[in-house]
Homo-oligomer: A and B are copies of this chain.
């Protein structure tokens, strides 16, 4: 069993080996994981813990399920995802095999039925100022995912 502390917004563990597989960051000698990373590791049996997936998911915010589905889908495809909070988005996404470069996209998980023009504008200005592109990820009720890349266009 790895020693694991679960907080509402992060998980802290002694299992530093996971960092070499691009999970989490190391701080004060511990590995700090995003909730999505932890759930991914639990659901794929890559971390030894007393928490079942069902028990673990209850520890986090209500929005975690949809974000976990997107995280898992992209992680399985070889992308690395990190927190996008500082950029006002859900995730920073690094292109395959380019984790050492700057993140290429800011990803927003769209769970509401509608997005306002104002929010859409904000997202795109933001991406522009940081020289990243925006990805919108839409989930349907069968967990089918659509990804759209959006870029501000100077016509």
Contacts and interface: CB of A to CB of B under 8 A. Distances in A.
Contact of A28 (B25, B43, B83, B118): B43
Contacts of A124: 88, 146, 148
User: Interface residues of A: mostly helix, strand, loop or mixed?
Assistant: mixed
Contacts of A144: 83, 85-86
A51 interface: no
Interface in A85-116: 85-90, 110-111, 113-116
A126 to B, nearest CB: 6
16 contacts: A9-B140, A24-B142, A27-B143, A28-B53, A32-B142, A34-B142, A83-B141, A84-B118, A85-B121, A88-B119, A88-B121, A88-B125, A113-B118, A115-B120, A125-B130, A147-B153
Contacts of A130: 125, 129
Interface of A: 3, 5, 7-10, 12, 24-25, 27-29, 32-35, 43, 53-54, 57, 61-63, 65-66, 69, 73-74, 77, 79, 82-90, 110-111, 113-126, 129-130, 135-136, 138-144, 146-155
Would you list the 8 A-B pairs with minimal beta carbon distance, nearest first? Answer: A88-B122, A129-B129, A85-B140, A34-B141, A114-B114, A83-B140, A88-B121, A147-B153
Contact of A32 (B8, B110, B125, B141): B141
Contacts of A138: 85, 117, 120-121
B142 A120 contact: no
